[in-house]
Amino acid sequence: MLFYGRQDITEEDIRQVAEVLRSDLITTGPVTEEFESAFAAYVGAKHAVALCNATSALHLAMLVAGIGKGDRVVTSPNTFLASANCAAYVGATPDFVDIDPISHNLCPQALAREWKPDTGAVVAVHYAGGPADMEKIAEVARGNNALVIEDACHAVGGSIYKDGALRKIGSHGYADMTVFSFHPVKTMTCGEGGMLVTDNDDYAAKAKQLRTHGMTRNPEDMVGLNLSDLDERGPWYYEMQSLGYNMRITDFQCALGLSQLSRLDQSIRRRREIVATYNQAFSAAPFIKTPVLKDISLQDHTSWHLYTVQIDFETLGLTRTHVMERLHSNGVATQVLYIPVHLQPWYRQTYGYGQNKCPVAEQNYRQTLSLPLYPAMSEGDVQLVIDNVLAVTSVYDQVA
């Protein structure tokens, strides 16, 4: 079975993880620090904070930025739940504006048109790895004194242009913080895991403290217990200075991350090759619309996490479920990514959101389908996907 996404684990990955498992320290420790330094260097950011998952990274981004009750946080409806849930976690109001019909990312024009004065932050998502228009999104947000959080969970290793120069996502300066995911189906994995990167010293320091129960062991940060008979500060001493969480990642996960990072560029090149093959094969298919970048010059600088097509199921005369079942029966597993978040029952019940709030995203959802894409796919695997997708659409075209 060819799944829509899959981890790519090598013997070297396993060797490096096993080496840490045989060491004295396996939880957050020196390998975590090494991974943070290597990742920060790779994307070109000053700080990187490794966490148990990207949802935690988004949560901490809200906390360290001071977002909370009374603030509105705007994001794309075409994303995973966590992009909006992170605002609800801190008591802010998650909100949504529609997507661009080409990139399927947050539309800067819709953001400006629907701006509300209580908006404190914008979470800009790079759907499928294709970059959002960060320059225009930042222009709208910062013009209204709001922060920009970049949800780059789909875009590890991608780049955009700034002032004519190519910059890695996470270091271009249009965002105050950027969050990455290392879930197994992403462009690199730690099994689970996430990373928050920023050039802001204060944000990074707060995030590191909050991921470990709000504790510090750094003598320079100590304030003391202010209890004369209990204020001895020996080697055991620590202080909880804020209400934090347990969002730590392990050293053996970070060992996997380091190994995966070392061949990330190679993995992304293979993803681009598969995307190019798909695009060519489906270019003349009557019911299929292939993904398009808003800035075509980024074609060779995009880290494709998903390959998502639009299929006109209504004209085809088939339900999406039927098409997916036919493909699955021939060894091709597909996925629907995503149901617009504002239509989820909890968001409808809690905030009163409903149909037609984001009509472009809702129409996109009616036709979206993600096909298999991961580096370990062989040429035969890719051709199997192409043949089956074309066969399903062509057969029913003739029947109609």
pLDDT digits (tens, 9 = 90+) for 213-244: 999 999 989 998 988 888 888 899 999 999 99
Asked whether residue 252 falls in the same domain as residue 275, the answer is no
pLDDT at residue 395 in the model: 54
pLDDT digits (tens, 9 = 90+) for 324-352: 999 999 999 999 999 999 999 999 999 99
Answer for the pair 156, 187: CB distance below 8 angstroms, yes or no.
yes
Contacting residues for 56 by C-beta, under 8 A, at least 6 apart: 194, 211, 245, 247
Q: Which one-letter amino acid corresponds to residue 275? A: V
pLDDT digits (tens, 9 = 90+) for 357-375: 999 999 999 999 999 999 9
Asked whether residue 145 falls in the same domain as residue 257, the answer is yes
Single out the residue in 202, 230, 262 at which a domain terminates.
Answer: 262
Closest Cα to residue 312, out of 386, 384, 368?
Answer: 368
Asked whether residue 272 falls in the same domain as residue 215, the answer is no
Does 240 reside within a domain?
yes
Closest Cα to residue 67, out of 87, 49, 94, 96?
Answer: 87
Q: Which helix (H) or strand (E) segment is 363 a member of?
A: helix 359-367
Asked whether residue 299 falls in the same domain as residue 242, the answer is no
Mean per-residue pLDDT, 304-317:
96
pLDDT at residue 232 in the model: 86
Q: Which helix (H) or strand (E) segment is 87 a member of?
A: helix 82-89
Cα dihedral: 135, 301, 171, 195 (round 10): 110
Asked whether residue 166 falls in the same domain as residue 312, the answer is no
Answer for the pair 215, 244: CB distance below 8 angstroms, yes or no.
yes
Using CA atoms, how far apart are residues 291 and 389, in angstroms rounded to an integer? Answer: 15
Asked whether residue 83 falls in the same domain as residue 194, the answer is yes
Query: For residue 308, is pLDDT > 60?
Result: yes
pLDDT at residue 231 in the model: 81
Asked whether residue 283 falls in the same domain as residue 193, the answer is no
Beta strands 368-371; 72-75: pairing state: unpaired
Contacting residues for 145 by C-beta, under 8 A, at least 6 apart: none
pLDDT at residue 393 in the model: 85
Asked whether residue 204 falls in the same domain as residue 65, the answer is yes
Mind telling me the catalytic residues?
A: 186
Where in the sequence is the domain holding 387, given as residue range(s)?
Answer: 264-399
Q: Is 390 left (phi over 0), alpha (psi -120 to 50) or beta?
A: alpha
Assigned token pair, 233: 């500060």
Mean per-residue pLDDT, 89-115:
98
Closest Cα to residue 50, out of 255, 302, 266, 306?
Answer: 255
Closest Cα to residue 188, out of 10, 4, 372, 385?
Answer: 10
In the three-class reduction of DSSP (H, G, I as helix; E, B as strand; rest coil), residue 29 is classed as coil
pLDDT at residue 76 in the model: 98
CATH code at 323? 3.90.1150.10
Q: Which helix (H) or strand (E) segment is 31 a member of?
A: helix 30-43
Query: For residue 118, is pLDDT > 80?
Result: yes
Contacting residues for 311 by C-beta, under 8 A, at least 6 apart: 287, 288, 289, 320, 323, 367, 369, 393
In the three-class reduction of DSSP (H, G, I as helix; E, B as strand; rest coil), residue 48 is classed as strand
Using a CB cutoff of 8 Å and minimum separation of 24, what contacts does 139-143 make?
139/108, 140/108, 140/111, 140/112, 140/115, 141/111
Query: For residue 397, is pLDDT > 90?
Result: no
Single out the residue in 230, 262, 294 at which a domain terminates.
Answer: 262
Phi and psi, residue 196, nearest 5°: -110, 125
- Between CA 122 and CA 303, with CA 153 as vertex, the angle to 5 degrees is 115
**Hey, which residues does 122 pair with through a beta bridge?**
74, 148
pLDDT digits (tens, 9 = 90+) for 8-39: 999 999 999 999 999 999 999 999 999 999 99
Mean per-residue pLDDT, 169-184:
98
Give the total number of structural domains in the chain.
2
Single out the residue in 262, 290, 318 at which a domain terminates.
Answer: 262
Using CA atoms, how far apart are residues 300 and 381, in angstroms rounded to an integer? Answer: 22
CATH code at 145? 3.40.640.10
Query: For residue 399, is pLDDT > 50?
Result: no
pLDDT at residue 204 in the model: 98
Beta strands 307-311; 368-371: pairing state: antiparallel
Using CA atoms, how far apart are residues 40 and 170, in angstroms rounded to an integer? Answer: 9
Asked whether residue 107 falls in the same domain as residue 119, the answer is yes
First vs last C-alpha separation in the chain: 29
CA dist 302 → 32, 59, 176, 310, 321 (Å): 27, 26, 21, 19, 30
Task: Reply yes or no: is the peptide bond before residue 338 cis, omega within 30 of 0.
Answer: yes
In the three-class reduction of DSSP (H, G, I as helix; E, B as strand; rest coil), residue 233 is classed as coil
- Between CA 249 and CA 1, with CA 155 as vertex, the angle to 5 degrees is 85
Query: For residue 290, is pLDDT > 90?
Result: yes
Contacting residues for 26 by C-beta, under 8 A, at least 6 apart: 20, 250, 251, 252
Using CA atoms, how far apart are residues 301 and 153, in angstroms rounded to an integer? Answer: 16
Asked whether residue 285 falls in the same domain as residue 204, the answer is no
Using CA atoms, how far apart are residues 283 and 271, in angstroms rounded to an integer? Answer: 18
